[in-house]
Structure 1
């Protein structure tokens, strides 16, 4: 067994998206090979409606899949195919944009006005870029949760883990998407397929992720500058940890425990041409998509 090295630890950065939604972007619009097949990850949360209520009005997508996971509040969505629905706390939506879709997502807070969710973009391989669009809406109660003897809790959103399989299926990147809580003071190891790119995103509590170069039994993590720091300097809220190659990830939870997403997927390793919410393989394909948006032929008829 080999611990995955911690290639990078960085804070998600404040960002404005949609019609004025305040969020934090962990990665996106940088080097697409870094976390291939994943392109972007946003953490959108707020305690005041002004932070999110203007939402994400009608906009196009092509060539990607978007994964929305709601923790607090709701997200109402609608699209050019006539689909409508509402995601509540604990719900997940996996949208395959494929050949093209126009949709909107409008967040609303809970009774206290709080809203919290995540959106991940996954690339589609060349042969699926123009596939028919589809949605998978999954209620939180359908997502299996495993509770280990030490109090560790794992929600299996996508993929298979500890003998349970998540309800979302048929995804091109064949990802594993886990929501993990490790109780205070517990050290825990999680298996990750060696051939997948993997990252963790901490959104509650603190913890330290073991590094492959660290002596056995001592947990250190690397900061963005590459300096080794003591375990007291743990990764906390809104922190991205990008892992290298290996088949397991080990975390030592801090005194509040730690909750994080552990996400991995098989790299596509194809050229990426990127223009906002449209991701293709060549600039010519991007230009074609923009032309179709302008002349009204972006949305393809259902076969």
Structure 2
């Protein structure tokens, strides 16, 4: 794989004192069509017990994926859903959503999950909100013979020359696609992602090496070449036109894959609002203060 840029997730705090790791760019749009990725990963409930009390959004799509533990989602549209391990939830907030995400009462063995923000094009930022989750639907998985398993979370994916798999959630802004890739110890895998203009990778567990796999299944390690090593917490922007080849370390690896088409529009960001102009941000604030976003039913 060819790495164009490399970033490290930074400690941050959001909601009611929730400790997270964050990768974000609201200025140079390096991750376009994506804006931000937050990771919650802790076995100590004090790191997340406060959750995310009611708050608004406008102009973005939020995509939540849970690997361990769970949240209860509530919004002003009347949706009340428990999102647990392997579930995903998508809100295309459009003109406005108020929602909350609070840890489930039975989340007593820790929490590991992600919230990803996807930008919306100007033409869609004021459309009605949409909501979908997979609490009653399985996200499809496909494995290869080297110990790698890909779980499609959004969009369509082709893995190791096998038949395309499609996630239940489709139609994200910017043609965004998201997948969870689990690599066993020393597992090798490759993906062709030439159909996407943007491809990113976040390593949330283990270590990873970039490799050059030939028909004999030799790697950089086998050829005594220097393979670049990546560690947990790193976010890589990749050349989508180069075959994505990688190998996990001896303890395996877990990573999120991001793909899509850049929207290439001006971004003005303030807290939970992402619009195209400062005037639109000010209007969002005024609309929220005036109660136009509604409220979560009791």
Choose the corresponding residue for 2:40, options 38, 44, 66.
44
Equivalence for 1:277: 272
- Could you tell me whether the CA contact under 8 Å between 2:180 and 2:257 is conserved in 1? yes
Choose the corresponding residue for 1:142, options 138, 141, 164.
138
The verdict on how the C-alpha distance between 1:151 and 1:172 changes in structure 2, with shifts beyond 3 A counting, is same
Equivalence for 1:166: 167
1:261 equivalent to 2:263? Answer no
- Could you tell me whether the CA contact under 8 Å between 2:183 and 2:248 is conserved in 1? yes
- Could you tell me whether the CA contact under 8 Å between 1:99 and 1:299 is conserved in 2? no
**Post-superposition CA distance 1:187-212 (Å, at most 9, x none):** 3211113542111111122111359x
Q: Which moved more, 1:175-184 or 1:97-106?
A: 175-184
Give the Cα separation in 2 of the matches to 1:50 and 1:32.
Answer: 34
RMSD: 2.2
The verdict on how the C-alpha distance between 1:109 and 1:12 changes in structure 2, with shifts beyond 3 A counting, is farther
* Unaligned ranges ≥5, structure 2: 159-163, 213-217
1:208 equivalent to 2:209? Answer yes
Choose the corresponding residue for 2:126, options 123, 130, 134.
130
Give the Cα separation in 1 of the matches to 2:142 and 2:136.
Answer: 14
* Unaligned ranges ≥5, structure 1: 220-228
- Could you tell me whether the CA contact under 8 Å between 1:63 and 1:99 is conserved in 2? yes
TM-score by length of 1: 0.86
Equivalence for 1:226: none
**Post-superposition CA distance 1:224-276 (Å, at most 9, x none):** xxxxx954x72222221122342431112111121111111111011111111
Give the Cα separation in 2 of the matches to 1:133 and 1:109.
Answer: 28
**Post-superposition CA distance 1:37-69 (Å, at most 9, x none):** 100001012111110010111111001000000
How many residues were matched structurally? Answer: 282
3-state SS of 2:30 partner: coil
TM-score by length of 2: 0.88
Choose the corresponding residue for 1:77, options 73, 79, 91.
73
Choose the corresponding residue for 2:290, options 289, 295, 298.
295
Choose the corresponding residue for 2:220, options 214, 218, 221.
218
Q: Which moved more, 1:240-249 or 1:8-17?
A: 240-249
